[in-house]
Amino acid sequence: MKSAEQTIAEAVAALDWSREPQGLYAPIGYTLSSGGKRIRPVLALLAARMFGGQDSDVLPAALALEVFHNFTLLHDDLMDRSDMRRGRPTVHVRWGANTAVLSGDQMLIEAYSLLARVPADRLPQVLRWFNEMATQICEGQQYDVDFEQRDDVDIRDYIHMIRLKTSVLLANALRTGAYIAGADEQHYNTLYHIGINLGLAFQLRDDLLDVYGDPATFGKPIGGDICCNKKTYLLIDACNHAQGETAEELRRWLRADTFRREDKIAAVTDIYNRLDVRAHVETDIEAYTQQALGQFDTLPDCPEREQLRQLADQLLNRTV
Amino acid sequence: MKSAEQTIAEAVAALDWSREPQGLYAPIGYTLSSGGKRIRPVLALLAARMFGGQDSDVLPAALALEVFHNFTLLHDDLMDRSDMRRGRPTVHVRWGANTAVLSGDQMLIEAYSLLARVPADRLPQVLRWFNEMATQICEGQQYDVDFEQRDDVDIRDYIHMIRLKTSVLLANALRTGAYIAGADEQHYNTLYHIGINLGLAFQLRDDLLDVYGDPATFGKPIGGDICCNKKTYLLIDACNHAQGETAEELRRWLRADTFRREDKIAAVTDIYNRLDVRAHVETDIEAYTQQALGQFDTLPDCPEREQLRQLADQLLNRTV
C-alpha cells in the first residue's frame, strides 16, 4: 500500500484550481502548493487505515481538513500582516488584501465541498464535528488576539487558547478518520484525546523553540515571539515567577518602544534562564507527550498504530 | 399560522450571540440585528409550506441562508470599504478590518452549523446545493471585481455575473425549502428558475433605480453607480450604443478624475436618456419578470403559491 504521506501528497496535487475566474482560484492553488507536512490529512488517513477504512472513503474529509487548515493560515497571515509563509510571499502581499479575503472565503467553502463527499451515512456527524472544530479555531484565534490586550492571562487561559487554536484540528482529524472507517466510539474518542495532547505538546514545543531552538532547523528567526511580546507559555510563566528587580526588568523590556532586536532577545532569554522557564515548559511538554503516547496502548495493535505513534513522536522531537 | 415574515423574524431574533469570546460574536449579532427584509429565508419557508413541509424542518436551512447572505455583506463591505449599511456603521468601521475578517469567517461557519441541523435524509443534497451556491456567489463577486478593470464587458457577461452574485441565492432558497418539504424534482426546479429570473429582474431594477429612482424611497443616494463608473447594465448598454460625439462625451466622463458629483450624474443621465438606455433595461426587466411570474402557474395551486407570487411582485415593483 502507498504510504499515507504519498497518498495525501498525490490527492492534494490532484485538486484542480485551473478553473475560472483565476483571480479567485489561482491564490488557492498557490496556497495549497506551498507544501507543508500535510500532518492533518495524514493523521486522518492513518486513523482510518487503523480500522480497515478505505482510503477513498476518508480522503474527502482528509482533504477538507487540509484545505481548512490552509484557509486559516491565509486569513491569519492577512490579519497578522505576515509577509512570508514557507519561504514565499503571502497571498495578501502578492495579490492584495481583498483577494486574501475572498479567495480565503472560497477556500473555506471548498473545504465544505470536499466534506460533502463523505459517505452519506457518516456525513451528519462528520459535518457537526467539523463545524464545532472550525468554531473552536476561530474562538482560539479571537482569544489569542484578546490576550495581546490583557495583563492577567494565566497558564490555564493560555492552554485553553492553544487547545482551541491548535489541538482540536489534530484531534478532529484523528477522530474523523477513525469514525469514517467505522471505529468504536471508545477508540475514536481515545484518538481525539491523543490529538488534543499532541497539539498541546506541539505548540508548547514551538514556544520553546522560538527561544531555545537551533536557528539552522527552526525555520523561522529565533526570538520572534520575544521581540513582539507575544504571550507564549514562556512569557506568561516568566511574568508569574518574576519578582523584585527581575520583574521590573521584564516589565521594562515589555514596554520598550525602541531597542536593538538582539539586545531584547538576549535580555529576555537571560530572564527566562534565571527563572527556570525552560524547565517549567519542558515539564509540561513531557506530561502532554506522555499522555498522548501512553494512550496509544489502548488502541488496536496494528502496523498503522505504530506508524501513527512514530509520526506523533517525530512531531514532538524536533531538535532543540 | 404565523406569517412567514413573522416566523423568520422570531427565529433570527432567537439566535444567541451572547457567548464568549464577545470579540468574535458581538459583531455577528450586530450584523444580524440590523434588519433587512429577510427575503431569502422567507422564500425558503414559503416554498416549504407550499409542499406541506413543517416549519421546524426547513428553518435551519432558511436561517443558514440568511446568515450566509449577511456574511457576504460583511466581507463585501470590507472589500468595498463601505462605511454604512442599513443606516449603521459597518463592522470594519466599528471594530476594525481584522474583526471583519474573523467574525465574517465565523458567520460562514455558523451558516454551516445551522445547515447541519437539516433532517439527515435531506442533508447531503442540501449541503451540495449550498456549497455550489456559495461558490457561485464568490465567483460572481470576483467577476464583479474583474469587470472594473475590463473594457470589453458585454451585457451577456454582466447577466452571467449578476446571476452568480444575486440570483442563485434566491433560487437556492426556493429550491431548498421545497426539497426539504418533499417536493417533486420538477417543482423544485421550477422554483429554482423562478428565483433566477426574479434575481435578474431585481438586480436590473436596482441598476435602474440608481439613476431613475425616487430619492425618497431608494434608500441610497441616487447616482452612486454613475459616480464610481460601476459597470451596471445601464453603463454597458450605453457604451454599446454610443457613437461619435456621444461616445467621446461618455469616455470623457468615465476618465474624469475631478468633477462635481451632480455634474457627472446629470451629464451621464442625459447620455443615457439620449441612448434610450432606460427603455432597454425596462424591456429586459419586464422579460425576466414575466418569466418569473409566468412559471408560478405550473406550481400547485395553494395559498402559499399566491403569497410567494405576491412577494415576488412586491420585490419587483419598487417605485421608480
Q: Which of A15, A22, A112, A147 should be substituted to probe chain B, the one whose Cβ sees the most B Cβ atoms within 10 Å?
A: A112
The rounded percent of chain A whose pLDDT value lies above 90 is 93
Decide: A138 and B24 in contact? Cβ < 8 Å: yes
Please report which confidence band the pLDDT of residue A219 belongs to, taking 50, 70 and 90 as the band edges. confident
The angle, 0 to 180 degrees and rounded to 10, between the axes of the packed helices A233-241 and A261-274 is: 60
The tens digit of pLDDT for each residue in A234-278 reads: 999 999 999 999 999 999 999 999 999 999 999 999 999 999 999
pTM equals 0.96
Handedness of CA B164, B169, B172, B178 (dihedral sign): negative
Query: pLDDT, tens digit, for every residue of B215-272?
Result: 887 777 889 999 999 999 999 999 999 999 999 999 999 999 999 999 999 999 999 9
Closest-CA distance, A81 to chain B, in angstroms, reads 10
Poorest-confidence range of A266-270, B34-38, B180-184?
B34-38
The yes/no answer on whether domain B1-131 falls in CATH 1.10.600.10 is yes
Provide the pLDDT for residue B320.
44
Chain A interface includes B26 (CB < 8 A) = no
- Span B84-112, mean pLDDT? 97
Report yes or no: B123 at the A interface, CB cutoff 8 Å: yes
- Spatial distance between the Cα atoms of B154 and B165, rounded to a whole number of angstroms: 17
The answer to whether residues A194 and A43 touch, using CB atoms and an 8 Å cutoff, is: no
Distance CA A120, CA B120 (A): 9
- Which residue of chain B has the CA closest to A112? B131
- Domain extent listing, chain B: 1-131, 184-320
The contacts of residue B281 (CB under 8 Å, 6+ apart) are B204, B207, B208, B233, B234, B237
CB contact under 8 A, B102 and A75: yes
A138–B109: do the CB atoms touch at under 8 Å?
Answer: yes
Predicted ipTM of the assembly: 0.96
Alpha-carbon span A145 to A80, nearest angstrom:
10
Task: Chain B: give the shortest CA distance to residue A20, in Å.
Answer: 8
Using alpha carbons, list the distances in angstroms from residue A68 to A7, A9, A28, A277, B259. 18, 16, 11, 34, 46
The answer on pLDDT for A320 being more than 50 is no
B1-131 and B184-320 in the same fold: yes
Q: Select from B276, B124, B133, B287 the least CA-distant residue to B201.
A: B287
Fold of B184-320: Farnesyl Diphosphate Synthase (1.10.600)
Q: DSSP states of A209-220 as a string?
A: HHHHS-HHHHSS
Model confidence at B319, pLDDT cuts 50, 70, 90, reads: very low
Q: Which residues of B288-307 are buried (b: 16+ CB within 10 A; e: fewer)?
A: bbebbbebbeebeeeebbeb
**How many Å is the Cα radius of gyration of chain B?**
20
pLDDT of residue A216: 83
- A318 has a pLDDT exceeding 70: no
